[in-house]
């Protein structure tokens, strides 16, 4: 197969991908189907052309770099209408326990189940199992401590789900503390 115009093929790959797709993955797919070799720089330039095309057309979707790859997402100004649709359709929300467990894993990763339970103060077997099933967390290995318990970390799907590139994009804890949560006077 020959790709005289590779841009539409790259656009199709990004569009069809369930999660963000990296330039390296695109390069591998094109290499499998063509005698021509595309450098990562050439692919990234074509991706930028696609991104500009969607910006210039003023469409409801845009090409976004996410989690080390690229994905088509709805533009931010359409958030209210999409949010309303999600509210109507949301039957599989994360429970409060799941959100608490997921946040502990996100900020402390890699972390053992025992460490999560010590922070939360309750058993978290069921919640961790559900987060694994939803693929929001993954097993990151085994701890070197006694018993070699499993270590848990967030997954790439977690990044996609929350729309961030890395855990560095998570809010810092000092950003989350509001004036209403403080007792007494604050001396700086």
pLDDT tens digits, 164-176: 888 788 877 666 6
Residue 67 domain flag = yes
DSSP H or E run through 73 = strand 69-74
Position 24 scores a pLDDT of 95
Position 2 scores a pLDDT of 61
Domain extent for 25: 7-76
Q: Which of 76, 107, 134 is the last residue of a domain?
A: 76
Position 183 scores a pLDDT of 59
Position 36 scores a pLDDT of 82
pTM > 0.85: yes or no: no
Give the C-alpha separation, 91 to 81, whole Å: 18
What is the DSSP secondary structure assignment for residue 57, as one 8-state letter? T
Burial of 81 (0-12, 13-18, 19+ CB in 10 A): exposed
CATH code at position 114: 1.10.10.10
Ranges of residues in the chain whose predicted pLDDT is under 70: 1-3, 87-92, 173-188
Give the C-alpha separation, 85 to 79, whole Å: 10
Give the C-alpha separation, 2 to 159, whole Å: 34
Classify 47 as helix, strand or coil.
helix
Position 16 scores a pLDDT of 94
113 & 71 share domain:
no
72 & 104 share domain:
no
28 & 66 share domain:
yes
Residue 50 domain flag = yes
Number of domains in the chain: 2
27 & 58 share domain:
yes
Position 101 scores a pLDDT of 94
Position 124 scores a pLDDT of 92
Question: Beta partners for 64?
Answer: 71
């Amino acid at each position: 197969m020959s790709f005289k115009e590779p841009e539409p093929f790259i656009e199709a790959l990004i569009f069809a991908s369930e999660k963000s797709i990296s330039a390296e993955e695109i390069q591998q797919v094109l290499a499998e189907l063509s005698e021509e070799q595309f450098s990562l720089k050439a692919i990234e330039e074509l991706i930028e052309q696609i991104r500009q095309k969607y910006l210039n057309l003023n469409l409801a979707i845009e090409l976004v770099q996410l989690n080390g790859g690229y994905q088509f997402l709805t533009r931010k100004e359409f958030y209210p209408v999409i949010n309303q649709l999600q509210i109507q359709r949301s039957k599989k929300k994360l429970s409060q326990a799941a959100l608490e467990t997921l946040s502990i894993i996100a900020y402390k990763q890699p972390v053992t189940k025992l460490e999560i339970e010590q922070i939360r103060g309750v058993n978290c077997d069921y919640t961790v199992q559900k987060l694994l099933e939803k693929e929001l967390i993954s097993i990151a290995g085994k701890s070197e401590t006694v018993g070699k318990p499993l270590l848990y970390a967030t997954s790439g799907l977690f990044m996609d789900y929350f729309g961030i590139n890395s855990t560095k994009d998570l809010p810092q804890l000092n950003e989350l503390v509001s004036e209403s949560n403080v007792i007494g006077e604050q001396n700086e």
